[in-house]
Structure 1
Amino acid sequence: MTAANAEQIRAAIEAWIDPDTGLALADIGRVGPIEIDDTRIRVVVELGFACASQHSRLHDGLNETVSEMYAGHTVEIQVCQQIQAHPSPKKLPGLEGVRNIIAIASGKGGVGKSTTTVNLALALAAEGARVGILDADIYGPSQGMMLGIPEGQRPETAEEKYFRPIVGHGIQSMSMSYLVDENTPMVWRGPMVSGAMQQLLNQTLWQDLDYLLIDMPPGTGDIQLTLAQRVPVSAAVIVTTPQDIALLDARKGIEMFRKVDIPVLGIVENMSVHICSQCGHEEALFGAGGGARIAQQYETELLGQLPLALAIREQTDAGKPTVVADPESGHAQRYREIARSMGARLAKKLTTAGNSIPTIQVNSD
């Protein structure tokens, strides 16, 4: 029997490629304690992102890898997840009760950003994370309806200056729609809107969130600039459709986040194909391959493609988005795949930043 070596085991596990995300385990987690005796090997693997549905598969793959190295030993792999805080690239103070803030943005309206946001939030929760949504679209808030929050429900207050988030389908949320009548238009200038967004974010008592998704308004205006300058955003995700005009605006969104030093985790291509509800025929109504081209151009990831499907619209409008209305459906599984990929790439950025060495420049005057 070959004597087991802890460093060899650690190296093999860290080099193992997760087929779901395509990333090495060293990029998305860490190897914890390794215990070895004459006949048994015990290893704890801690993942840095939400992927509870994949633990069993990860366990089997890692178990097989180590067992092949030491055939005479009984191998016990324990897989767990611990989502760490990813600091803002701009070194802003963190938001109390929130580990990671991810902005879900689009260059233009009408691409399904809010529907994508709520389903990704529910997908992350289904994978074992604690998740919240801030509806930053002050002019057209929609997350309350999508989460099935009854019209007229108001958030409770605490200490006369804080709001308690309203919970729907297990997701903590805050939206301007909770504070004003549904039919009241927000006839405000830019500074007022930016101030309202900051108050909603900072005066909400978020409770131990792994991820706070910010449903951004479309475009690159006041709220986006305020977010970049004053909110500790960990990263952003861009939602687009394959249509050329949407892709043009998506590029502007990516460029904006780059200019303010917020990393873009990837692109979500929504409405990539239309699926006929009668026969199942698929047709690329808005073009094909646009999301992949932008991802390649900007050296980021195509996190996933979502169809233009009647069921997604109907379920979200009814206040039970696809991930909770039909969790075993193919659409729900796509959202969960994107959510896992998004979380994994954020975890990779954390490990990369943690291993980086700052550059020191000395200028002589």
Structure 2
Amino acid sequence: MVSNKEVLDALSVIIDPDFKKDIVSLGFVKNISIKDGSVSLDIELTTPACPIKNEFQKNAEEVLSALDGVESVKVNMTAREVKKSEKNKGGLEHVRNILAVASCKGGVGKSTIAANIARELSARGFKIGLLDADIFGPSVPTLFNIHKPDIQADKDKNMIPYEQNGLKIMSFGFFLGDSPAILRGPIVSGYIQQLLTGVAWGDLDYLIIDMPPGTGDIQLTMTQTVQLNGAVMVTTRQALSLVDVAKGIEMFEKVNVPMIGVVENMSYFDCTNCGSRHYIFGGDEENVVTKKYGLKTLMQLPIKVDSGIIGHLDKDFTDPDIKELVDNVVRAIGMKAFDKNTTPQYEFDDEKLSFTWPDGTRSVVKNLDLRADCGCAVCVDEYSGEKLLKVEDLPKDIKPTEITPLGNYALKITWSDGHASGIYPYKQIRKLETVV
């Protein structure tokens, strides 16, 4: 009869493409049962919507069926239980994951991307809710062609979300109609609280929140009211949008919301006449956000004529770009939930910063070298890329006065010359390091 060790050895050839490790060493294999010639087990993934779960299941069945003495194989695909937050009460009590889709400026396509993520996840069979929390400019009713729905309340006086093809939707725009939203601060906060906790979402795998643009009191109220599992930032390649990405990163990090990554929207367009790809907002194929801030670029989405048209969701449509985006978002959420000890330990003195990296490597970077390599808008022209900072103008004895880690991708450093707007990705730091 086949042994547990043989089963685990066989499964260890299956490599997770994100973590670059086998599923056994990652602890994904659970509850192995061997009886006569029958083998059953669970493969517990980091997220229920993992886009490669079918591949894992197929590979596991194949390698186990090839073992001598195995007559039947049953592989159950499960997902790690998310610990529920005490913050998420009321209508959010049975929501397993809450993902915010945010931007620091309007007009970058945030609502369209949030709607597409929710629509695609729902189409894959998951229980999904979409909350349009953009109080001042609710777009979801227009995107989904929902006008003046009859919203009812349950016995607990929680609003029952509108449902379209299995996707649960709630928007302030349902109550506003076509009238403009003229609201003051305290009233806005009250509406936000009601939308966040006063909707009867029921059992959901994911609630996607279309956040209001910006980084002010409204956004802080939302992050303090509910526990978000992560945030996706939407931007474009335009310099004014890129400058504000840093503000969004800092806001979410301050309130302990993990940054999942950035979607670079309207990144390029493919000409149907000449067949060439054009980056009309500048740059080239390089992921400018990743280079500048160290945050993962989840997708570079092209400009398309029909990209903002969702309309009737009862009409089937397939957009390969959206499918790839959702795959990348889900995988990034899973990695963020599982990722442990991927940031370096660091200390600093009057001359240098010293790092001990997760692989045990130790290195140093001179204070002056790192300060001179700042890529913020004060130090580098956002339009031309020209270096504005002159090294000879920096104090030779410059040193950090405060260092704030930003997730597992960068450090925000305040320097003794008063400069505080620089974000330094770990990849940038490693290019300047000297291994010791």
Common topology (TM > 0.5) = yes
Tell me which residue corresponds to 2:165. Answer: 169
Partner of 2:153: 157
> What is the match of residue 423 of structure 2?
none
Does residue 1:195 correspond to 2:186, yes or no? no
Is the alpha carbon distance of 1:259 and 1:51 closer, same or farther for their aligned partners in structure 2, counting shifts above 3 Å? Answer: closer
Q: 1:223 to 1:165 in 2, by over 3 A?
A: same
Match of 2:331 among 334, 341, 345: 341
- Is residue 2:310 matched to residue 1:310? no
Partner of residue 141 from structure 1, selected from 135, 138, 142: 138
Higher relative contact order (CA 8 A, sep 6+): 1
Are 2:282 and 1:287 aligned?
Answer: yes
CA distance in 1 between counterparts of 2:26 and 2:260 reads: 14
Rounded to whole Å, the distance in 2 between the matches of 1:15 and 1:266 is: 29
Match for residue 33 of structure 1 among 31, 35, 57: 31
Partner residue, 2:317? 326
Identity %: 35
Question: How far apart, CA to CA, are the structure 1 residues paired with 2:46 and 2:21?
Answer: 12
The reply on whether 1:235 has 2:226 as its aligned counterpart is: no
- The aligned amino acid for 2:211 is M
Aligned to 1:266: 261
> Do 2:121 and 2:326's aligned partners in 1 also have CA atoms closer than 8 Å?
yes
AA aligned to 1:344 is G
Cα gap change, 1:67/1:56 in structure 2, threshold over 3 Å: closer, same or farther? Answer: same
Residue 240 (structure 1) shift: 1.4
- Specify the SS of the correspondent of 1:210: strand
Q: C-alpha distance in 1, partners of 2:111/2:246?
A: 19
Aligned counterparts of 1:83 and 1:263: Cα–Cα separation in 2:
18
Per-residue CA distance 1:198-255 (angstroms, 9 max, x = gap): 1112111112011111101111012111012222222111111222221211121011
Whole-angstrom distance in 2 between the partners of 1:194 and 1:156 = 22
1:62 and 1:295, CA in 2 relative to 1: closer, same or farther beyond 3 A?
farther
**If the length of structure 1 is used for normalisation, what is the TM-score?**
0.80
Asked if residue 129 in structure 1 is aligned to residue 147 in structure 2, the reply is no
The whole-number CA distance in structure 1 between the counterparts of 2:218 and 2:25 is 32
- C-alpha distance in 2, partners of 1:28/1:118? 33
| Aligned residue-pair number | 339
Unaligned runs of 5+ in 1: 354-365
In 2, distance between residues paired with 1:338 and 1:294? Answer: 16
Tell me if 1:58 matches 2:56: yes
Aligned partners of 1:219 and 1:291: how far apart in 2? 26
State the one-letter code of the partner of 1:168: Q
Q: Who is 1:101 aligned against?
A: 98
Does the 8 Å CA contact 1:154/1:179 hold for their aligned counterparts?
no
For the 8 Å contact 2:18–2:335, the answer to whether it is kept is no
8 A contact 1:268–1:291 mirrored in 2: no
Q: Is the radius of gyration larger for structure 1 or structure 2? A: 2
SS in 2 for 1:76: strand
Taking a change above 3 Å as real, the CA distance of residues 79 and 307 of structure 1, as seen in their structure-2 partners, is farther
- Residue 179 of structure 1 pairs with residue 206 of structure 2: no
The aligned residue for residue 363 of structure 1 is none
What is the CA-CA distance between 1:103 and the residue it aligns to? 1.0
Matched letter for residue 164 of structure 1? I
Whether the 8 Å CA contact 2:60–2:75 is kept in 1: the answer is no
Structure 1 residues 59, 159: CA separation in 2 closer, same or farther (over 3 Å shift)?
Answer: closer
Q: In 2, Cα distance between the equivalents of 1:283 and 1:130? A: 38
Cα distance change of structure 1 residues 161 and 56 upon mapping to structure 2, 3 Å threshold: closer
Structure 1, residues 97-152: CA drift from partner, whole Å, max 9, x if none? Answer: 31221111011111111110011111222333211111110010011221232x22
Alpha carbons of 1:49 and 1:238: their partners in 2 closer, same or farther (altered >3 Å)?
same
Q: CA deviation at 1:6?
A: 2.0
CA distance in 2, matches of 1:285, 1:127: 33
CA distance in 2, matches of 1:209, 1:167: 13
Q: Secondary structure at the match of 2:15?
A: coil
**1:196 CA drift (Å):** 0.5
Bigger helix fraction: 1
- Tell me the distance in 2 between the aligned counterparts of 1:35 and 1:249: 53
CA distance in 2, matches of 1:23, 1:119: 31
Q: Which of 296, 304, 317 is the aligned partner of 1:301?
A: 296
Matched residue type, 1:334: E
Residues 107 and 220, structure 1, Cα contact 8 Å, conserved in 2 = yes
Range 293-302 or range 270-279, more displaced: 293-302
Q: 1 or 2, which has the higher strand percentage?
A: 2
CA contact (8 A) 2:42 2:78 kept: no
Partners of 1:141 and 1:177 within 8 A in 2: yes
Give TM-score scaled by structure 2 length.
Answer: 0.68
Separation (CA, whole Å) in 2 of partners of 1:223 and 1:210: 25
AA paired with 2:33?
E
Cα separation, partners in 2 of 1:297 and 1:279, compared to 1, 3 Å: closer
Change (3 A) 1:86 1:263: farther
Alignment of 1:18 with 2:16, yes or no, is: yes
